[in-house]
Chains A and B, each alone.
Chain A
Amino acid sequence: RKEVEQDPGPFNVPEGATVAFNCTYSNSASQSFFWYRQDCRKEPKLLMSVYSSGNEDGRFTAQLNRASQYISLLIRDSKLSDSATYLCVVNKARTGANNLFFGTGTRLTVIP
C-alpha cells in the first residue's frame, strides 16, 4: 500500500467554483500533515499544515480525520492563480526523523 494516496485528477473547474481534494495515508503513527502546492517544474511550496481540529486560511480549509487516516483540502472561490498541483504530505513519524512522504499530487486547472 502506498504511504500517501491522492486522486491525480485533473480537476478542471471554472473561476469561482469550490473544489475539494482528498488524500489517505497508511501510517497511523504519522504526526504531521501538510498540503503543499507545486507549479510546473517548480519546488513544492507550503500551503498549510493540517490539524485534527481543522484549520482555515482565507479561501482554503484543511481537515484531518485520524480515525479514517484521511486528509482533505477545500478551496472556495477558485482563482486562476490556484491552478497548480496540490500535494498531500505526511511525515514518517519516527523518533528523530521527520522525512516527508508525498502523494503524487492532484492537478487543478481553474478555467476563466
Chain B
Amino acid sequence: EPEVTQTPSHQVTQMGQEVILRCVPISNHLYFYWYRQILGQKVEFLVSFYNNEISEKSEIFDDQFSVERPDGSNFTLKIRSTKLEDSAMYFCASSGRDLWAEQFFGPGTRLTVL
C-alpha cells in the first residue's frame, strides 16, 4: 500500500539554526500539507500546497517557514531560524485528485530545538 514517507525521523538543532524537513508524498497525489503537533496538544494545520504554490497557510506559518517541491517527488518544509517553541512533531500529508479527498499522513519528524 502506498504511503507518505518523511525524513529524518528525529532532528535535534540549536536555536537559530535552519532545518529542512523532507517528505515524499504518495506518488499520484496532487495536494500536499504540513501539520505540526506540539507534545500533548492537538494537530495544527501549517500550510497546503497545490500546483506548485501555496494554497493556504495558517498564522503559525510566518516568514520563518517556507515550503518547496523541488523535484516532483519531494516536498520540503524549511524553518529558517528555529525557536524553542518550534519543537514539535511535524507531519506531512497528501491527498489525491479530489480536493476533498482523505489526507494520508506520514510518520512525522520530531524536531527538538535546544
Contact = CB atoms under 8 A, between A and B. Distances in A.
Interface stretch (B11-19, B40-48, B66-74, B76-84): B40-48
Q: How would you classify the secondary structure of chain A's contact residues: helix, strand, loop or mixed?
A: loop
A105 B99 contact: no
Contacts of B100: 31-32, 91, 98
Contacts of B44: 102
Contacts of B41: 104
A96 B28 CA distance: 19
Given A96-B55, A97-B55, 16 more contacts: A34-B102, A43-B91, A43-B108, A44-B43, A45-B105, A46-B104, A87-B43, A92-B45, A96-B99, A98-B99, A99-B48, A102-B42, A102-B43, A102-B44, A104-B41, A104-B42
Interface of B: 31, 33, 35, 41-45, 48, 50, 55-56, 58, 89, 91, 95, 99-100, 102-108
21 contacts: A31-B100, A34-B102, A42-B108, A43-B106, A43-B107, A44-B105, A45-B105, A46-B102, A46-B103, A96-B99, A97-B55, A98-B48, A98-B95, A98-B100, A98-B103, A100-B43, A100-B45, A102-B42, A102-B43, A104-B41, A105-B42
